[in-house]
Structure 1
Amino acid sequence: MSSDLTPDVSALAINVTIPEALRWTDIRRGEEFLLTTLNVRLLPDGHLAAKAYGRPTGGGRGAYVSFRVPDKPELTNLVAEAANRAGELWGAHRGLG
């Protein structure tokens, strides 16, 4: 592929389910949320960034609000392992179906 046809990929992001044993709660706008999903992005410099999302513990849909991922080795490992697995899956793609 010539350089002027090289795709400009503007975002690489994956969603990762947080295993039950690693889930936590946090409060935003006076409402408690159970965090169940991570959104992991690959930054232009090669580092990873992650935000957590979940649902209000009191029920309902609640707002789509992001939370900081705590600095815990188990969560850091989950993010890294998920990124590695996503790379394997992307690398093994079979084209458009």
Structure 2
Amino acid sequence: MNVTTPHTSTAVRTFAQQLSSTRRGARLARLLAAAELRAWQVSPSVVEHAEQIVAELSANAALHGPGPGPRLPPGALPGPGGRPATDRGD
């Protein structure tokens, strides 16, 4: 018996933007991450959750970070199972 398994192609998408560790940088990180995920046609519920996570991480970096300067590079990276994951640095 010949059985074929369906092959689903998974595109690896990345987005990175260097932003300052300020309140403005935190706001931009949230807006840019949400816009990029929407452009990738990610489901609205995933975009909403990712936006909240990016907002929290970038706000923490702005509050506890070393100050103004390009030290907050948020990125939407493919995580386990192809779900979006975020990465940020101080």
Give the structure-1-normalised TM-score: 0.32
| Greater RCO, 1 or 2 (C-alpha within 8 Å, sep 6+) | 2
Higher strand share: 1
Query: Which structure features the higher share of helix residues?
Result: 2
